[in-house]
Every structure is written in C-alpha cells, then in structure tokens.
Amino acid sequence: MTAPVVGVVMGSDSDWPVMRLAAEALEEFGVPYEADVVSAHRMPHDMIAYGSQAADRGLRVIIAGAGGAAHLPGMLASVTPLPVIGVPVPLKHLDGMDSLLSIVQMPAGVPVATVAVGAARNAGLLAVRILAASDEGLRARMRDFQRDLYEQAKAKGARLRE
C-alpha cells in the first residue's frame, strides 16, 4: 500500500457528502490520501496533534473542510508547515457564508487556500496541482485533464452552433 500524501479532514462525518468530492478527485489522479474526522471544537487536542504530526508522517497537503464556525483549516495551518486548503461546508442556515468567512479571513502569515462554498472537488484538484509542481507524471495527467475540459467546453459551443 502507498502511504497517503494528502490528508482530507473534516469537522464531522456530516461534512463527508461534500468532502468526498475532494477524495474522488484525488482518486481520479491516483493520489494516495487518508480521510478522517478531526473536529476543532470537539477534539481540539487531537486536531493539534494531527496538524503537528502531518508533515513528519509524510503528508504533503492537507484539505480541511468544516461548516459554521469553521476553525479547523485555520488552526491546522497554524501548526503545520504544509499547504492547507480550506473547504467551506454549507450548513442548513446562512448558505455557507459563515463557513466561508470563518475560513477565508486568516491573519497575515497564516495562509489557508480557500475554495468556494462546497467546492471540495476543486480542493482535490488544487492539491493535485500542488503535488504536480514536483511530479512530472502527475503534471502530465493534469495537462490531459485540462485538455479534456477544453474539449468538453468546445463541444458545448459546437452543439449550440448546430
């Protein structure tokens, strides 16, 4: 088994229907990942341990999703040198705006790369791009993926012109 290089973590298993889109994107590119619940508020000591140990365990990117008072991505970013991608998970109220603002408004010096509300697939793809910067094979697969996107967009235009 290949060791995971991306950690996909979330505040609750109720975030999984959104966060699994990140996992699926990683699977598409053959990137080994781990997925877990690491709640900032319900298991704060575990969260700090996860962030503190992530790089030494071999992870290279963390994707962290949470909803509401979404402190998980920012707190992980405060204790790891790894890039952290934050996914605002929309809850029943406020359309995910609370999640988005909790994640995106980080203090200077502690960045979290925040994707759009619910956009866990983009988080997965961004993690692939980060890894692809130092992995030629992955970079080639990302180029193929981008070519497919181009072809699909062109085909949509062609259908409209028919």
| Residue 118 touches ligand RP5, criterion: CB under 6 A | no
| Residue 124 touches ligand RP5, criterion: CB under 6 A | no
Find out whether 42 is annotated in a ligand binding site. yes
> Least CB distance from residue 15 to ligand RP5, whole Å?
5
The whole-angstrom separation of Cα 7 and Cα 136 is 21
| Residue 73 touches ligand RP5, criterion: CB under 6 A | no
In the range 36-65, which residues lie near ligand RP5 by CB under 6 A? 39, 41
Which of 10, 61 has the CB closer to ligand RP5? 10
CA distances from 76 to 56, 69, 112, 133, 159 (A): 14, 14, 9, 22, 46
Total of residues contacting ligand RP5 (CB under 6 A): 12
The helix (run of H) or strand (run of E) holding residue 73 is helix 72-79
Find out whether 12 is annotated in a ligand binding site. yes
Task: Please say whether the beta carbons of 64 and 29 come within 8 A.
Answer: no
Measured from each CB, the residue nearest to ligand RP5 is 11
Closest CA to 63 of 45, 51, 48: 51
Task: Please say whether the beta carbons of 38 and 47 come within 8 A.
Answer: yes
Binding site for ligand RP5 (CB under 6 A): 10-12, 14-15, 39, 41, 66-68, 89, 91
